[in-house]
Each structure stands twice: as structure tokens, then as C-alpha cells.
């Protein structure tokens, strides 16, 4: 059984993000699969999604409701979750088959996409990763015990995980890419050419801005007047086609 999990808490993302993610997964996977959303509000989420309570993390606010909360997936046990899971952020666009994400290096307990904004740093981007429940529970335990020091030491949870975990492996380079790094044309061509989709890409991540619906519309929001001179994209047809596909 292929198992996929996402997390949604607070008001940043509505149920449509979960529903669209499920739709993209269902179109790019073969055979039976289990799709779980850990959430504090299941209203509006399509019935095919298994909604379960989003685990909280006992660390100082506001970090307990920031991406540090994702470290709860590294707890020793998770209710109704066992074995290997593919974690997907809500703001990814799935552009190719997911089947091999479940069979690639099956003996490994943690496989993650490269952090393409820091390609040689040894840091993974936790927008897309596969993990085995309970395999590295010290990540969770250590954060609970030392969160004040660790949050000062590491700028975010994915850096903490990458620097602390005993085993890190990466997806093939062309499977998981960043929209801003791999798709947006260089300046000034981005004013004339829409973002491209590399042929072998399977998942496109959208950390920060623009998010997928903004990319579809050709909107790269920024409040910085200087950055407006280069933070520009044309409407992205392939994101429109995938994100707004009705299923």
C-alpha cells in the first residue's frame, strides 16, 4: 500500500489545497494508496482523504505553529500510521508519476529532495520526503527537550533535521525541483517567456512566493519596490492546467 501524508493547520491553507493535492496524487499513482491529512479542521476536505488529528508540539510559541510542528512526524509512534510514508507539502504541483517514490532505495529510512537554493549545503528540502515511522525518534525527543537552544541554532526545521539525522539520502536530481530555480526564466527573459516545466520533473515545490495559484495567474507578490523590477513571471499554462484540473 502506497501511503501519503500531508499536514494542514491554522488558516494559511484552505481545504482546496488538500483536495487539489489528493487529485494530483490520484492522477499520478497506480494501484491502491492511502492518503492522510493531519489537520485541526477537516471541514471542506473531500471524503476520499483520511483526516486525522494534527499532532501538536510542546515548544515555545509561535514556533509550535510554524513548520517546526512537522517534526512531530518523527515521534516514536504515530496513531494509525506505520511503515513508510511519502510526505508532501500542500503547495507542491505534481507533474509526473509518483510510483517510484515508493520503490526508490526501499532500505532507506529517510529520502528528501535537495534544497536547491543551497545546493551544496547538505540540507534537504522537506517539501517532499519519505520516512519510516519511528526510525529517527530522537529528532522529536531532542527538539522537545532542547527547543529553545535548537531554534536559536537552526534557522528552520529542515535545517535541524538535515544536520541532526543519522541518515540522509536524496531523490534523483530531476525528480523534485523548485519553481523559482528550475522553471522561471532568467532576467530579463522572464518578461517575455513563461516559466517552463523540465521534462523529467515529477514534483515542483513552491516555497515562499509565488504559490501555485499565483504562478498560474502570473503573479509574484512582493512588497519590496526594488524587487518588483525582477520578481516577475508570466502566467504559467502548465500550472493552470494541473492546479485547476477538476477531479
Residues sharing a CB contact under 8 Å with residue 36, sequence separation 6 or more, in sequence order: 3, 4, 5, 6, 49, 50, 51, 52, 81, 85
Quote the cell numbers at residue 177: 525541483
Q: Label residue 247 by pLDDT band (50, 70, 90).
A: low
CATH superfamily of 2-170: Spore Coat Polysaccharide Biosynthesis Protein SpsA; Chain A (3.90.550.10)
Q: Label residue 229 by pLDDT band (50, 70, 90).
A: confident
Q: What is the mean pLDDT of the chain?
A: 96
Q: Label residue 57 by pLDDT band (50, 70, 90).
A: very high
Confidence at residue 223, expressed as pLDDT on a 0 to 100 scale = 84
Confidence at residue 118, expressed as pLDDT on a 0 to 100 scale = 86
Distance CA 33, CA 232 (A): 38
Quote the cell numbers at residue 53: 488529528
Q: What is the mean pLDDT of residues 184-195?
A: 95
pTM for the whole structure: 0.96
Q: Are 38 and 65 in contact (CB under 8 A)?
A: no
Weakest-pLDDT range from 78-87, 90-99, 116-125, 187-196: 116-125
Distance CA 161, CA 154 (A): 9
Helix (H) or strand (E) holding 146: helix 138-153
Distance CA 95, CA 228 (A): 28
Q: Which of 10, 1, 68, 4 is nearest to 203 (CA)?
A: 4
Q: Which of 79, 75, 88, 60 is nearest to 3 (CA)?
A: 88
Q: Find out whether the peptide bond into 62 is cis, omega within 30 degrees of 0.
A: yes
Q: Label residue 121 by pLDDT band (50, 70, 90).
A: confident
Helix (H) or strand (E) holding 92: strand 92-94
Q: Where in the chain is the domain with CATH 3.90.550.10?
A: 2-170
Confidence at residue 227, expressed as pLDDT on a 0 to 100 scale = 86
Render pLDDT for 140-185 as a digit per residue (tens, 0 to 9). Answer: 999 999 999 999 999 999 999 999 999 999 999 999 999 999 999 9
Amino acid at each position: 500500500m502506497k501511503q501519503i501524508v500531508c499536514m494542514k493547520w491554522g488558516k494559511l491553507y484552505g481545504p482546496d489545497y488538500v483536495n487539489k493535492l489528493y487529485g494530483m496524487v490520484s492522477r499520478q499513482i497506480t494501484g491502491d494508496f492511502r492518503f492522510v491529512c493531519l489537520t485541526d479542521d477537516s471541514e471542506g476536505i473531500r471524503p476520499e482523504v483520511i483526516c486525522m488529528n494534527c499532532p501538536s508540539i510542546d515548544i515555545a510559541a509561535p514556533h509550535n505553529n510554524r513548520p517546526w510542528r512537522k517534526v512531530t512526524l518523527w515521534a516514536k509512534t504515530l496513531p494509525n500510521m506505520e511503515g513508510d510514508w511519502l510526505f508532501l507539502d500542500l503547495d507542491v504541483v505534481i507533474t509526473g508519476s509518483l510510483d517510484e517514490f515508493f520503490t526508490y532505495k526501499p532500505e532507506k529510512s529517510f529520502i528528501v529532495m535537495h534544497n536547491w537554493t543551497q545546493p551544496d549545503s547538505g540540507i534537504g528540502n522537506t517539501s517532499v520526503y519519505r520516512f519510516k515511522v519511528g526510525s529517527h525518534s530522537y529528532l522529536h525527543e531532542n527538539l522537545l527537550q532542547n527547543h529553545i537552544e535548537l531554534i536559536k541554532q537552526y534557522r528552520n526545521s529542515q535545517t535541524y533535521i538535515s544536520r541532526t539525522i543519522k541518515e540522509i539520502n536524496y531523490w534523483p536530481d530531476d525528480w523534485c525541483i523548485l519553481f523559482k530555480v528550475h522553471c522561471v526564466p532568467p532576467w530579463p527573459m522572464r518578461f517575455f517567456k513563461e516559466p517552463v516545466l523540465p521534462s523529467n520533473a515529477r514534483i515542483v515545490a513552491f516555497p515562499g512566493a509565488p504559490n501555485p495559484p499565483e504562478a498560474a495567474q502570473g503573479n509574484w507578490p512582493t512588497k519590496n519596490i526594488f524587487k518588483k523590477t525582477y520578481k516577475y513571471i508570466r502566467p504559467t499554462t502548465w500550472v493552470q492546467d494541473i492546479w485547476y484540473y477538476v477531479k
